[in-house]
Structure 1
Amino acid sequence: MYAHVNVWCLTDQGAAWKDDAACTVAAALQSQPGFRSYTLVRTGEWEVVAITVFESKAELDAALAAIAPLVREAVTPLAEGVIERRAGAVLFHVTAYMGGHEMAPQAPRTFGASRHSRDAPR
């Protein structure tokens, strides 16, 4: 898996505790091949961190390119810009199973491994 992390500095409009733009971006990302997760974390009154995870770097790059116009339209009015941008291979990722809404957890993988387990405990 591969992750992309953006730290955004918010405008007055973006500082409002609304998730409309995040829901729009999440829906667009979710429809892209290789999607694993999207998380938006409020880290301060004027700051959010977006964490996007895809199965591969190529799928992540393609998804980010595909939704770039949507991000410009929905997010740009809410943010002054990206303060920091990071990306890299996911070393460990686990998700709780919540009755069908989230994906079932997968067995942890070692760095660089490509096997998946469908028999992960629930």
Structure 2
Amino acid sequence: MPNLVNTVKGYAKHEKSVFENVTKARSALMKADTPAGKAQANNMLTDALKSLFAVAENYPQLRASENFNALQKELSDTEDKVAYSRQFYNSTVLEYNRTIKVFPNVLFAGMFGFTEEQFFETKGQEREKVEVKFD
């Protein structure tokens, strides 16, 4: 019983800051309106989630909880959705950028102020899936 109490106390200390960071990062991602802003917010969220899982590694009771397992599944699903969305966005931007460069579209693009869009890019390390180990 004392071990469980210490675990809960230790978890409570970390819980607030970790979840605040996750919430802030998620909020920043929702508010970002440029590809660069979204990429930066996505990186913040990835770092916050790494912290969350680092805390969880120290607490077997937390790792065994249903809520934590649901969070892990949701994270995996979200990573897949983000990867698909990034690929779709970049494919669309590539097609758009190519389209505004060919004749006669280049004339209309110039008249109406259409310019090249930026790709949603992340550093190589940030593209890798977050490795979460549960021993």
Structure 1 length as normaliser, TM-score? 0.29
Give the structure with the higher percent helix.
2
Q: Quick check: which has more Rg, 1 or 2?
A: 2
Structure 2 length as normaliser, TM-score? 0.27
Give the structure with the higher percent strand.
1
